């Protein structure tokens, strides 16, 4: 996925048209970036195998593997 240097993973996902990339366990409600400052934990992704990373705080970098809960269907 393309990104601009200095952009977070969340910003890159939104720029690519992904506004929601996981769902809540109860109710399966869509979630993506909400607060943008790491407080709400709505933007969790798996990065290079490390689960529970806050996409709004994580700088995008070349070669990283980002998996969303939609991608791995958890």
Alpha-carbon gap, residue 16 to 68, rounded angstroms = 14
1 part of a folded domain: no
Residue 3 lies in a domain: no
Q: State both tokens at 61.
A: 């970098």
For the whole prediction, is pTM greater than 0.75?
yes
The reply to whether 4 falls in a domain is no
CA distances from 50 to 2, 16, 23, 45 (A): 21, 22, 18, 8
Per-residue model confidence as pLDDT tens digits over 5-61: 999 999 999 999 999 999 888 898 999 999 999 999 999 999 999 999 999 999 999
Residue 70's pLDDT is what?
A: 60
Alpha carbons 25 and 68: distance in angstroms, whole number: 14
Output the pLDDT for position 48.
96
Residue 66 lies in a domain: yes
For 52, the token pair is: 């529970």
Domain span at residue 40 reads 9-72
Residue 57 lies in a domain: yes
Rounded Cα–Cα distance for residues 24 and 35 (Å): 16
Give CA–CA dist 52/3, Å, rounded: 21
Number of folded domains that form the chain: 1
């Amino acid at each position: 996925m393309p990104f601009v240097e200095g952009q977070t993973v969340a910003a890159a996902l939104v720029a690519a048209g992904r506004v929601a990339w996981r769902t809540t366990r109860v109710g399966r409600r869509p979630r993506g970036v909400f607060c943008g400052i790491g407080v709400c934990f709505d933007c969790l992704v798996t990065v290079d195998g490390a689960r529970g990373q806050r996409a709004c705080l994580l700088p995008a970098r070349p070669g990283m593997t980002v998996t969303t809960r939609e991608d791995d269907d958890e």
